[in-house]
């Protein structure tokens, strides 16, 4: 099965339309996690090592630092960057939390005294020998076939080549789809620290894929925004949205199409991003019982806000490689840091809740989530 992308742009590594901050170049070249590129958004603060070879991006909430994207630096500098950051954090009496750290990076964090607790599962789809053939991919093929029969096509929007007025129209339609998508959720707001945002002036080298009717190409039914990793050698489906009345299966259709596009370009892999609060119940030596119980409660009782099980099931249909993701916290998880995370995620923005949907979903009225 091959799904076609119309009018593909370049690989995302070329010249940008305007001057960008140094942090963007660092995130592009050295970011290894799906959320590494999020630190280019304007609300993040950045710690640079003294030699300015690498950076760490974080949200600050009083004494709590919430770090996304890991240590963003060349491999031979990551130890030194983390050492200097830890000294900075300790000197200011901060409690620093790194999210979604891979198992291979745990020895570095443990070296500097970070408490490690499982946070969820990473997803990675290697593209070297990837194929949609065989029984494991039958579900994806059915979605692509059904959506194609409805007359939809997938294409990439070459943002780098658009005139300012065209770019404004593009983001106006993306915002319309985003608002419509969020209006159908119980929590009608992006979830901070876990979801990116549509920021036209900070999109940089993200790539945009849309699905539309072949005979009505300017009316989009869905979009996927992809963030670069490892200098554009890998990509992550960091944000995807669809209209409430879009064709069933349009998101899997679009993801399958962009995976084919990245494979054709020679990319190494596509990440479907991390699934938080999944498979976190087994105790690990030295982990945080508070964090483990909180994540278990999230998985089992808070699906009406963020359906981790549904999201895990949806992403598993693409047959990615799952691997553990961890919280790394110095000196350790506390009630205060847990409360701060909930606040930064926006869970206390009660006006963002559709309370009718909350009551409905708690009676079993939700369906598996396809949200990022």
The residues facing 224 across adjacent strands are 209, 240
Architecture in CATH for domain 125-271: 3-Layer(aba) Sandwich (3.40)
Task: Evaluate whether 22-123+274-362 and 125-271 have a shared fold.
Answer: yes
- Gap between the Cα atoms of 114 and 275, Å rounded: 22
Tokens of 266: 């020679």
370, 207 Cβ separation under 8 angstroms: no
pLDDT in tens, 200-227: 999 999 999 999 999 999 999 999 999 9
Alpha helix (H) residue ranges in 112-249: 138-149, 164-183
Which has the minimum average pLDDT: 16-20, 55-59, 151-155? 16-20
Q: Is the dihedral of CA 2, 121, 58, 82 positive or negative?
A: negative
pLDDT band of 370, cuts 50, 70, 90 = very low
The total of other beta-carbon atoms located within 10 Å of residue 154's CB is 26
Q: What is the pLDDT of residue 240?
A: 95
pLDDT band of 26, cuts 50, 70, 90 = very high
113-134 residues labelled b (16+ CB within 10 A) or e (exposed): ebbbbbbbbbbbbebeebebee
Domain locations in the chain as residue ranges: 22-123+274-362, 125-271
Task: Give the rounded distance of the alpha carbon of 21 from its chain centre.
Answer: 21
- Dmax (CA) for the chain in angstroms is 61
Half-sphere exposure of 22 (CA within 13 A, CB side): 10
What is the pairing mode between strands 269-271 and 95-102?
Answer: unpaired
Which has the minimum average pLDDT: 92-106, 147-161, 266-280, 340-354? 340-354
Question: Which contacts of 42-49 are long-range, i.e. CB under 8 A and separated by 24 or more positions?
Answer: 42/199, 42/202, 44/68, 47/84, 47/85, 47/88, 49/73, 49/77, 49/80, 49/81, 49/84, 49/85
The total of other beta-carbon atoms located within 10 Å of residue 316's CB is 15
- Gap between the Cα atoms of 75 and 197, Å rounded: 28
Place of tokens 């009496």: 93
- Round to the nearest angstrom and report the end-to-end CA distance of the chain: 25
Q: What is the pLDDT of residue 365?
A: 40
pLDDT in tens, 167-198: 999 999 999 999 998 887 665 567 778 888 89
What is the pLDDT of the chain when averaged over all its residues?
Answer: 89
Architecture in CATH for domain 22-123+274-362: 3-Layer(aba) Sandwich (3.40)
Q: What is the pLDDT of residue 20?
A: 62
Q: What is the pLDDT of residue 51?
A: 96
């Amino acid at each position: 099965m091959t799904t076609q992308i119309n009018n593909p742009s370049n690989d995302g590594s070329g010249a940008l339309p305007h001057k960008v901050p140094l942090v963007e170049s660092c995130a592009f070249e050295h970011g290894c996690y799906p959320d590494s590129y999020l630190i280019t958004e304007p609300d993040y603060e950045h710690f640079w090592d003294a030699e300015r070879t690498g950076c760490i991006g974080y949200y600050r909430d009083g004494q709590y630092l919430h770090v996304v994207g890991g240590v963003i630096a060349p491999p031979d500098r990551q130890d030194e960057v983390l050492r200097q950051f830890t000294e900075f954090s300790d000197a200011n009496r901060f409690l620093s939390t790194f999210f979604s750290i891979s198992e291979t990076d745990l020895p570095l964090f443990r070296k500097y005294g970070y408490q490690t607790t499982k946070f969820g599962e990473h997803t990675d789809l290697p593209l070297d020998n990837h194929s949609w053939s065989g029984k494991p991919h039958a579900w994806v093929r059915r979605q692509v076939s059904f959506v194609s029969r409805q007359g939809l096509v997938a294409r990439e929007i070459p943002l780098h080549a658009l005139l300012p007025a065209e770019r404004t129209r593009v983001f106006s339609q993306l915002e319309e789809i985003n608002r419509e998508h969020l209006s159908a959720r119980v929590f009608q707001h992006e979830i901070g620290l876990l979801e990116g945002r549509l920021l036209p002036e900070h999109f940089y080298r993200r790539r945009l894929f849309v699905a539309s009717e072949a005979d009505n190409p300017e009316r989009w039914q869905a979009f996927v925004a992809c963030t670069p990793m490892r200098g554009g050698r890998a990509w992550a489906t960091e944000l995807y949205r669809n209209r409430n009345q879009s064709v069933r299966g349009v998101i899997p259709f679009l993801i399958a199409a962009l995976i084919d596009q990245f494979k054709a370009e020679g990319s190494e892999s596509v990440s479907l991003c991390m699934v938080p609060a999944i498979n976190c119940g087994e105790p690990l030596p030295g982990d945080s019982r508070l964090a483990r119980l909180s994540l278990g409660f999230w998985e089992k009782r808070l699906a009406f806000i963020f359906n981790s099980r549904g999201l895990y099931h949806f992403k598993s249909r693409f047959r990615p490689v799952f691997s553990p993701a961890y919280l790394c916290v110095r000196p350790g998880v506390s009630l205060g840091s847990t409360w701060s995370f909930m606040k930064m995620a926006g869970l206390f923005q009660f006006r963002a809740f559709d309370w009718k949907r909350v009551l409905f979903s708690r009676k079993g009225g939700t369906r598996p989530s396809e949200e990022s």
